[in-house]
Amino acid sequence: MSEHRRRSPNSGGGEQPPGPPSGQRPYAYGTPPDGAPSYDTPGRPTPRRAGGQSGSRATAQQPRMTRAEMRKAAQKGGRKGDGGGAGKGPGKGGRGDGAKPPGKKRFIDYPRWGKSGVRRWLPSWKQLLTIFLLFFGGGVAAVGTAYAMTSVPQLKDIAPAQNNIYYWADGSEMTRTGQSNRQIVQIADINKSAQDAVIAAENETFRSDNGIDPKGIARAVYNMASGQATQGGSTITQQYVKNAYLSQDQTVTRKLKEFFITLKLNQQVSKDTILEGYLNTSWFGRNSNGIQAAAHAYYGVEAKDLNPCQSAMLAGLLKGAGYYDPSLSAANHTRMFGTPSDPASGRWEWILSKMVKIKAITQDQMDQCTKAGLPEPIKQQPASNLNGQVGYIVDTVNKYIEGKDPSITEAALGHGGYRIHTTLQKDKVDMLSKAVDEMAQKNLDPAKRPNNDNFVQVGAASVVPGDGALVAIYGGPGIDKGQYSNNADTTGVPVGSTFKPYVLATAMQDGVLTQTGPDGKPMRINEDSRYNADDLSTIRKPDGSLVIDTTTGKPFKQKNDESGPQGYVTLRQAMIQSFNVPFVQLGEDVGGPNVAKLANQMGLSMSAMPTSNQSTAAFAIGTSTPSAIQMASGYSVFAARGQQAPMYPVTKVEFNGKALPSFTKAAPKQVLDQAVADNITSVLQDVVQSGTGTKAKAVGRPVAGKTGTTDKGTSAWFDGYTPQLATAVTMFREDASHPGLLSLIGTGGKSSFYGGDLPTEIWASYMKNAVAGMPVTDFPTPQAVNTEVDSSGAPSTASPSASASASDSASATAAPTTQAPTAAPTTQAPTTKGPGGGPETCLPGVDCTSPPATSTKTPGGGSSTGSSCIPLFDCPSGTPTPTATKTKPGGGGGSSTATPTGAGTAAATP
């Protein structure tokens, strides 16, 4: 711009430049914009003149600024935050929050300068993009570095052979197991059918996939990061890598390392090499690592000589040999080969069909396998270090370890490297084994009674009450004798009447559904509550309706072991004599699911008490199939006065010298009131003293227990305890080659077979020695508990009214009865109405065909019957209505007397 335009023609205050036209901003004619410094506007700062003076007009010494200069000045002023204009809010470039601007431009503009409110704290898109690029680049660099540094293991270095060492409770070594049978062979020496069977079973896309299952990896990483159960690799390549790095260290870092190895393997080696490594490092059971060892262990042949039928069976073991090895148990056999009527349900035939699908074999070849018969494995050659009970102990301990820590799989244990400290006491294990052997020598003679004394099985277990330690088991004669299934931990053997204490405990702890207590909850009853015990009695649901037999469509009638009428008896007496009818009705009154819930809290697994069984009337008398270990654990709760301590056979597990954290003993918890547990113990003491378990008195100290026998004698039990030790013993017959329970009737030359016979003898013989060094301790004196709640039709007593299943007719009030029917075995409660208003079968003295009987109490709370009459119905005029008094020595039951006022007495002598 020329000099004459920049300077005023009259520096001394002459003529001023013309102002802006009307309606236009002065900025167009040289006036600075808003926010720019002004040199001629009143009230605004002016530049200093020479000598420090200031003026309001430009002079020759202080020229006016051009518009470009003023624009720059305005921008600088805005950045400096000088207010931008008097009286105005935050403008462009201003923060508006009163904060002073930084002295110089920041490297990271955060919080963002020039923004207010939330925007000041929100990163700009440039900042977000920068952050993303930094993290992405860093991640790529980290992955690349990790990938480059990860080496692929050599097959010979994978999973070096190690032993597992098991210790007795006193610290002495029990045995050693582990990877002792491993033989590496080349892929050319593995039959093609074996290769194809494994691919069909585990990863049918193996030949074409990239070796990675992203979903499976993401799921496994998430599970480990969140502390959930880990999962194995989904592809054969991933499983091979997992085999290479089997260890207890289940971490995200290790999983990522496996991921990188999988990627490298898939890029660097052929599929045949990967398959060769997988087949040589996989666990097949029978102490066999690799296909070559498995071929020898199961079929006695080389891997190259396996046929498609055998190959499919071996491939089926990869999901878990302990679960599928058909030689271990009948259940395993069914899982592998299906049933005769449905072989397609087995894993073996499923794998053959998959082999047809991937065109590994033809349909004709599959048909040849199914028609030729099942490829049953050869007899297992037991390891010499697992003879006797040691093999069963190792089996029990391994199952417990796998259940407590899912990362320790059967394959991991097969590879070895663990030091396992158990609770098993060698002396007690020997005592239990000796008791079984002595019983067999004394009573069993297979040569003399081949149809009765063959295939007799015994299982037993001992648990410390209040602690949960498993101190002894008997699983069978030994795997060296050909007995591979562990009878101490077997399932499928019904427990019979030994289940009745759980039903009584539920009624006493949770109450019956037929009557509501003052608190609005089911009424909690006691062992003096009286129930009908007549043989072949009908059973009613809590709503009063009859239980219907689904096979006949007619009312269900429960049978006792003894025929004939028994009248109304206390639950104590019903337990002593092991009557079925009272407990089946009690089971309906409390509800099967409630019984199962409490039994589960006491130590029985829900899998042993399937939901389908819980709704049946027979559930209360032992259709469930818990193991001897579980039953010993459950009964230990009674001995521990209601405290449940989870069973445990392991105190410590170490891997590579480091103790693993999953094996800390759980603290006991109270699942039963002390008074409830003590009263049930009192009842079970009476079972031993005067009931079906009298042979247990041979222990020579206070004991409590219950016998159990199932229908047709297919199993017999005795479960009992002292204050220091709880033990369960079961007997059954089963031919391993023909799964299914056989009758025990005739075993040992006995025409009938009960839990009170040989099982109780084994229990008493063992317990007498096992507790010999322990102080003789009595059980606590039980305190009175709950209320007597009699079932429908029970003779009137001085106790609170009967349950809701009792009659609501006048006979429950105006005409209380004192008798129970005697002659007619199907006679029901003597009331005109059943629970819920439904009709009963008959009313004694009115429409029953047989004379009634007077119910009297026997020692222990039982009853006897005698001919009498029903007041207000057939008693002579003037006969008084009876009243009743109760006595309960020690609060645990005892006797009761029914005393008619003014005439005659019907009494029970203690």
Return the amino acid letter for 419.
Answer: R
Q: Which residues of 173-210 are buried (b: 16+ CB within 10 A; e: fewer)?
A: ebbebbbbbbbbbebeebbebbbbbbbbbbbbebeebe
Residues 425-470 have pLDDT tens digits of 999 999 999 999 999 999 999 999 999 999 999 999 999 999 999 9
Residues 57-77 have pLDDT tens digits of 544 455 667 777 776 666 665
Residues 6+ apart with CB under 8 A from 293: 181, 182, 183, 284, 287
Return the amino acid letter for 805.
Answer: S
Q: What percent of the chain is helix, strand and coil (3-state, nearest 5)?
A: 40, 15, 50
What is the structure's pLDDT at 369? 95
If one counts every other C-beta atom within 10 angstroms of the C-beta of residue 151, the result is: 9
What is the structure's pLDDT at 412? 84
Its sign, for the CA torsion 379, 384, 385, 391, is positive
In 3D space, the residue among 465, 837, 405, 860 whose CA is nearest the CA of residue 640 turns out to be 465
| Maximum Cα interatomic distance, the chain, rounded to a whole number of Å | 150
Radius of gyration in angstroms for the set of CA atoms belonging to the chain, rounded to a whole number: 43
Q: Are the C-beta atoms of residues 190 and 276 closer than 8 Å to each other? A: yes
Q: Is 385 helix (H, G, I), strand (E, B) or coil?
A: helix
What is the structure's pLDDT at 257? 74
* CA distance to 239, 315, 513, per residue, from 787 (Å): 61, 60, 14
Q: How far apart are CA 795 and CA 409, in angstroms?
A: 60
Can you give 568-601 as a three-state secondary structure string? EEEHHHHHHHCCCHHHHHHHHHHCHHHHHHHHHH
Entry field: residues in the chain = 910
- pTM (2 decimals)? 0.70
In 3D space, the residue among 314, 315, 308 whose CA is nearest the CA of residue 363 turns out to be 308
Its sign, for the CA torsion 637, 642, 645, 646, is positive
Q: What share of the chain has pLDDT > 70, as a percent?
A: 71
Residues 346-375 have pLDDT tens digits of 999 999 999 999 999 999 999 999 998 899
* CA distance to 523, 579, 838, per residue, from 847 (Å): 32, 26, 16
The DSSP code sequence of 754-806 is -TTTHHHHHHHHHHHHHTTTSPP-PPPPPPP-SB----TTPPP-SSSPPPTTS
The CA-to-CA distance between both ends of the chain, in Å, stands at: 133
Across the strands, what pairs with 462? 472, 727
Out of 308-312, 473-477, 792-796, 885-889, which region has the weakest mean confidence (pLDDT)? Answer: 885-889
Q: Is 252 helix (H, G, I), strand (E, B) or coil?
A: helix
In 3D space, the residue among 429, 403, 597 whose CA is nearest the CA of residue 510 turns out to be 597
- Between 244 and 773, the more confident residue is 773
Residues 548-586 have pLDDT tens digits of 998 899 999 999 988 889 999 999 999 999 999 999 999
Q: Which two tokens stand for residue 101?
A: 């601007």
| Long-range interactions of 319-328: CB distance < 8 A, separation 24+ | 319/201, 319/347, 320/410, 321/283, 321/284, 321/285, 321/286, 321/410, 322/285, 322/399, 322/410, 325/285, 325/286, 325/377, 326/374, 326/376, 326/377, 327/376, 327/377, 327/379, 327/380, 327/484, 328/484, 328/485
Q: Are the C-beta atoms of residues 193 and 304 closer than 8 Å to each other? A: no
Residues 161-206 have pLDDT tens digits of 678 999 999 999 999 987 556 778 999 999 999 999 999 999 999 9
Backbone angles phi, psi at 632, to 5 degrees: -65, -40
Q: Which residues of 502-537 are buried (b: 16+ CB within 10 A; e: fewer)?
A: bbbbbbbbbbbbbbebeeeebbbbbbbbbbbbbbbb
If one counts every other C-beta atom within 10 angstroms of the C-beta of residue 883, the result is: 13
Decide if pLDDT at 733 tops 60. Answer: yes
Q: How far apart are CA 695 and CA 699, in angstroms?
A: 9
| Long-range interactions of 697-701: CB distance < 8 A, separation 24+ | 697/764, 698/764, 698/765, 698/768, 699/764, 699/767, 699/768, 699/771, 700/768, 701/771, 701/776, 701/777
Output DSSP code: residue 386. G
Q: How far apart are CA 409 and CA 568, in angstroms?
A: 54
